[in-house]
């Protein structure tokens, strides 16, 4: 068949094929994909004809099946053949948006083409199936060999693993765990299929090429300033001064951040802990809020034995970025701490 197709050829061929449908089928499909106007819902079209949305869907389905029969003997079959090849590389499944974009790039179609035309042509392919609308999921295309049970199992396993870990994971690690855990029930599962399946669900989000997590964690798609600060901390994996943090947020997200604004955000949210002069960390890293004296007292409480100045300083510096002179000065608090020997201290006994 045709090796290449341009936008004009696709539009003209598609309109010609529509001419082989009934007036109502033409109207429904044209309005559904927004050909010459805005896309319309099943309900709005049904209201026009005085019929139910389900009846509109039936008319649409019948029309698309007719298109499928006509396309097989037209130049547009090249689009279907290309879609089938793209799906095979993706393990047999792909979200509608990703497949349409892959077609546009693969065939070299101008982006001015109404994408709904490509969607209808793919949907009319008897070797490809389209998912039904469902809350919380993206519409997707898949080949008949893909089991719905497998799609559900991959999703469930991903959610179980991520919730148990409580944090984002590298996709490669998660996918391998899913593959191994489901092997006994489904045999060998392609990694590309697992990746494609997890594109479907809105409660999962991928980021930075290699990570995946729950959307509600807002780590990979931060929206608020607090979320963005947490994102930067997790990327840098180190304590950061609030001035440097403001600069890094600007660099990562391409938007200016006032130093005073980020400082206020760090102060008022208990997810962040001040460990030195303007230096903050994430509380979830194991840091506790409090002054240097609070840290010293906590160290004594855990040790349950007198400690030397050197031991105290070493332990404090594990959680605080302060001068040794500051630690020594706090050891002189006679209301809370007492000296019990040369360079030895403990909590003051009642």
Q: What is the pLDDT of residues 274-327, one digit of tens each?
A: 999 999 999 999 898 999 999 999 999 999 899 999 999 999 999 999 999 999
pLDDT in tens, 45-86: 999 999 999 999 999 999 999 999 999 999 999 999 999 999
Which pLDDT band holds residue 348 (cuts at 50, 70, 90)? confident
CATH architecture of 292-347: Orthogonal Bundle (1.10)
For 321, which DSSP code?
B
Q: How far apart are the C-alpha atoms of 211 and 209, rounded to whole Å?
A: 6
Our CA angle for 3, 8, 10, nearest 5°, is 55
Say whether 292-347 and 7-133 share the same fold. Answer: yes
* pLDDT over threshold 90, residue 220: no
Tokens of 44: 């709005």
CB 37 within 8 A of CB 45: no
pLDDT for residue 194 is more than 90: yes
Phi and psi at 58, nearest 5°, equal: -65, -45
Mean pLDDT of 141-157: 97
Mean pLDDT value of segment 209-226: 89
Q: Is the pLDDT confidence value at 144 over 60?
A: yes
For residue 126, is pLDDT > 50?
Answer: yes
Q: Strands 211-214 and 169-170: what pairing?
A: antiparallel
Contact assessment for residue 14 and residue 80, using Cβ atoms and an 8 Å cutoff: no
Domain 225-285 falls under CATH 2.40.128: no
pLDDT for 4 equals 67
Mean per-residue pLDDT of the chain: 93
Q: Dihedral angle at the C-alpha atoms of 84, 88, 89, 93, nearest 10 degrees?
A: 90
Tokens of 226: 């607090």
The architecture CATH gives domain 148-217? Orthogonal Bundle (1.10)
In the chain, domain spans: 7-133, 148-217, 225-285, 292-347
Return the percentage of the chain with pLDDT > 90, whole number.
81
pLDDT for res 341: 82
Comparing C-alpha atoms, which of 209, 185, 181, 183 is closest to residue 195? Answer: 209
Q: What is the DSSP string of 74-94?
A: STTHHHHHHHHHHHHHTTSEE
- Beta carbons within 8 Å of 209's beta carbon, 6+ residues apart: none
In DSSP notation, 217-277 reads G-SSS--SHHHHHHHHHHHH-S-EEHHHHHHHHHHHHSS---HHHHHHHHHH-TTEEEEET
Q: Are 69 and 76 in contact (CB under 8 A)?
A: no
Q: Is the pLDDT of residue 16 over 90?
A: yes
For the CA atoms of 53, 56, 57, 58, what is the dihedral angle to 10 degrees? 130
pLDDT band at residue 1 using 50, 70 and 90 as cut-offs: very low
Q: Please provide the CATH number assigned to the domain covering 7-133.
A: 1.10.10.10
């Amino acid at each position: 068949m045709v090796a290449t197709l341009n936008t004009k050829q696709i539009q003209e061929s598609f309109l010609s094929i529509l001419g082989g449908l009934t007036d109502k089928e033409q109207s429904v499909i044209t309005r559904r994909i927004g050909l010459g106007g805005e896309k319309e819902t099943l309900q709005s079209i049904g209201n026009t004809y005085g019929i139910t949305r389900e009846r509109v869907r039936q008319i649409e389905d019948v029309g698309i099946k007719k298109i499928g029969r006509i396309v097989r003997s037209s130049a547009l079959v090249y689009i279907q053949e290309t879609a089938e090849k793209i799906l095979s590389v993706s393990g047999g499944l792909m979200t509608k948006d990703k497949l349409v974009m892959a077609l546009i790039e693969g065939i070299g179609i101008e982006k001015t083409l109404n994408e709904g035309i490509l969607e209808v042509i793919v949907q009319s392919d008897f070797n490809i199936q389209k998912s039904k609308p469902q809350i919380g999921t993206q519409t997707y295309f898949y080949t008949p060999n893909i089991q719905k049970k497998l799609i559900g199992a991959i999703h469930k396993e991903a959610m179980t693993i991520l919730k148990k870990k409580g944090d984002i994971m590298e996709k490669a690690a998660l996918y391998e765990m899913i593959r191994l855990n489901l092997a006994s029930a489904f045999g060998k599962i392609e990694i590309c299929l697992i990746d494609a399946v997890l594109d479907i669900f809105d409660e999962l989000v991928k980021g930075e090429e290699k990570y995946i997590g729950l959307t509600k964690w807002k780590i990979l798609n931060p929206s608020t300033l607090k979320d963005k600060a947490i994102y930067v901390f997790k990327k840098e994996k180190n304590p950061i001064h609030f001035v440097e943090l403001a600069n890094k947020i600007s660099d990562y997200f391409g938007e200016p951040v006032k130093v005073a604004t980020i400082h206020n955000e760090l102060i008022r949210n208990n997810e962040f802990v001040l460990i030195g002069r303007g230096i903050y960390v994430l509380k979830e890293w194991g840091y506790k809020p409090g002054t240097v004296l609070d840290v010293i007292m906590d160290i004594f409480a855990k040790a349950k034995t007198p400690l030397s100045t050197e031991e105290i300083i070493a332990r404090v510096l594990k959680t605080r970025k302060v001068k040794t002179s500051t630690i020594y000065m706090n050891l002189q608090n006679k209301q809370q701490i007492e000296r019990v020997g040369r360079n030895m201290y403990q909590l003051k006994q009642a």
